[in-house]
Structure 1
Amino acid sequence: MHFDKLTFFTFFTFLIVVIISTWLLLSTYLTENCEDDVAISRGKVELVYVEWASEIASTNVVRVLLEKLGFEVDLFSVSAAAMWQSVASGDADGYVAAWLPTTHAHYYRALKDQVDNLGPNLEGTKIGLVVPTYVTLDSIEELNAYADKFKGKIIGIDPGAGLMSKTETVIEQYNLNTFKLLEGSGATMTAVLADAIKNKQWIVVTGWTPHWKFARWQLKYLKDSKGIYGDKEYIGTIVRKGLKEEMPEVYRVLDHFSWTAAEMQELMTMNQEKGSTPYENAKLWLKKNPERLEQWISQ
């Protein structure tokens, strides 16, 4: 009889240990996966951007900010026209890549009533025609006289960019009939520029500030006496209608996000390092600048 009681007590103790162990394992699993569950429950954010070095930098910073608040973030690289249209239609939530008031003026005029403009996230930007400083001319008017040295080419970027449409107007207004504007991308433009500078060749490209190329090479803007490229611009944040009501925290972060050209330049330079990725660099930059992180995600 004593043996039966002992056996029962041992079995009961073993059962309690098994139950407690199972509960601890389950608690650990739930804790480890809590962040994923929160991210899913908080929803998905879709951001669009144009494939410019400046927009790659800023969009990835915003992605990291929103992920820290538990949101899942998808980024889509599109043309400027598609970027504006996707937010106006509500297919995307927003972007931090609106060049105003000049570069994207025609998009804004057409769609301003269908989007919310949160204002500048970076001020003091500029667009225009850019040449290496060893090129001995200073204005757009002088281009025709040296068309042969430039091989009659202006190296452009993606065809949907506002900078390209402005450059087409420049060609028309300055009667640059001997020049052809070549389409490409920001990456191909800088690759062609690098090759020309290496060989001390004359080259003219469509350019904008801020951009890492100004830190790497000695470059200058050609004077635009007709003012077609406009004065200094800003990069603005645009979001879809209804975002403030449906995703107030996302709206708040996008509304708070604003930085300097020097800060963007630092991150763009990091993105040029071999083997690096814009996403990982954005996380690293925020780790080095915790005060910015706190400012952008605080209530």
Structure 2
Amino acid sequence: MLHHHRPGHDQYRHRHGSGAGGLHSHAGDLRGQPPGYSTLQSGDSDVFLGGWLPAQQKIYDAAMQSDAIVDLGNNVEGARMGFAVPGYVHDAGITSAEQLNEPENRERFGAEFYSIESGSTVGEAIHDAADNDVYGLGDWDIRESSTAGMLAEVDAAYRDQRWIAFYGWTPHWMAPKYDMVILDDPESVYGRENGKSDIRTVVRRDFSEANPNLTRFLDQVVFSAEEQSQFIDEFSQQGKDLEEVAEQWIESNPEQVQSFLEGVTTRDGEQPTIE
């Protein structure tokens, strides 16, 4: 079994011999342990593609101490989370969270910041920032709702070209749909290096030892956050079949696919070919 927990908020589950499952939660909502770690440790799954770090650091560290799992490294380059705005707000000159509370900007944002459910890790981060008046957010209205509720507000603002500041992350379909830009965060409210994140491929140790060929393949599969965001947009927003999205990408990126397959062999011990 393979689990993919996206930070962006989506959890994608794929069982051997079946199609893709639904989209559920997100990397910031860490009130409970993401199922990928517990199912790896119990032997109910073999591969987890959604190890978001540093957002899941404590849970990840605890799971690694069991010595039952192996971290193969990052599978998405450029993942980030933090203060976000639509592209037209960035084009107007807003590039840093330090600018949010400047008088003219504060008025245009309505002194409101949209975030996800209270109790999530990212919810705690923005409330800590407000409590300490970071970026002058002490008297801002932190508007919390479900992920869908927050994005409905973003969508309404985008259609009207109104200014809005919200919690954003990538990879996610919000990135291409709203031309989203994550602002500089010099006070590291959402983590160091402006919310830079890794999304790790984590596998069950017994599985990796029994399947070195497949493990090599998984170790070499790396996408950019932009590619992942486009995938998510195409199948979750545009309604394309997952197989269609995958096939189109493979046809358009043969060299990248070949890099995934370097040193990997088929069941017959042959070098796989791309047709």
TM-score by length of 1: 0.64
In structure 1, the residue matched to 2:82 is 128
Choose from 34, 47, 61 the match for 1:82. Answer: 34
2:97 corresponds, among 135, 140, 145, to: 140
Q: Which residue of 2 aligns with 1:118?
A: 72
Asked if structure 2 preserves the Cα contact closer than 8 Å seen for 1:117 and 1:238, the reply is yes
> Alpha carbons of 1:93 and 1:178: their partners in 2 closer, same or farther (altered >3 Å)?
same
* Corresponding position of 1:15: none
**The one of 30, 41, 61 aligned to 1:109:** 61
Distance in 1 (CA, whole Å) between partners of 2:181 and 2:241 is 29
Larger radius of gyration: 1
User: What is the letter of the counterpart of residue 253 of structure 1?
Assistant: F
Judge which range, 191-200 or 166-175, deviates more: 166-175
Q: Which moved more, 1:194-203 or 1:218-227?
A: 218-227
Is 1:171 the counterpart of 2:123? The answer is no
Name the counterpart of 2:227: 263
Q: Secondary structure at the match of 1:206?
A: strand
Retained in 2: the 8 A contact 1:130–1:206?
yes
Please give the alpha-carbon distance, in whole angstroms, between the structure 1 residues aligned to 2:224 and 2:174. Answer: 17
Residues 66-77 of structure 1 aligned to structure 2 (within 5 Å) = 71-72=16-17, 77=23
Query: Among residues 229, 237, 241, which one is paired with 2:205 in the alignment?
Result: 241
CA distance in 2, matches of 1:88, 1:193: 38
Determine the C-alpha separation between the residues in 2 that align with 1:49 and 1:85: 13
One-letter identity of the residue aligned with 1:118:
L
Alignment partner of 1:95: what SS?
strand
Alpha-carbon spacing, 1:209–1:78, altered in 2? closer, same or farther (3 Å): closer
The match for 1:252 is 216
Moved more, 81-90 or 158-167: 158-167
1:187-236 alpha-carbon deviations (Å, 9 max, x no partner)? 55443212102113221111123444444445433332212322133222
Contact 2:169–2:182 at 8 Å: present in 1 too?
no
Q: Report deviation, 1:119.
A: 0.7
Correspondence for 2:246: 282
Q: Which residue of 2 aligns with 1:37?
A: none
Farther off after superposition, 140-149 or 219-228: 140-149
Deviations 1:157-177 (A, max 9, x none): 466865444334433342535
CA distance in 2, matches of 1:74, 1:272: 14
Q: 2: CA distance between counterparts of 1:227 and 1:210?
A: 20
Over 3 Å counting, the alpha-carbon distance change for 1:153 and 1:182 in structure 2 is farther
- What secondary structure is seen at the aligned counterpart in 1 of 2:154? helix
Alignment RMSD (CA, Å): 3.6
In the superposition, the TM-score normalised over structure 2's length comes to: 0.69
Q: Please tell me the residue identity of whatever aligns with 1:49.
A: H
Specify the code of the residue in structure 2 equivalent to 1:183: S
Deviations 1:80-117 (A, max 9, x none): 532333334433222222222x2222322332223321
* Alignment partner, residue 164 of structure 2: 203
Work out which of the residue numbers 47, 52, 60 in structure 1 matches 2:3.
47
Percent identity between the aligned chains?
24
Provide closer, same or farther for how the CA distance between residues 78 and 249 of structure 1 changes in structure 2, counting only shifts above 3 A: farther
The structure with the largest helix share of the pair is 1
Q: Which amino acid aligns with 1:117?
A: D
Alignment-derived partner of residue 185 in structure 2: 224
Residue-pair matches, total? 242
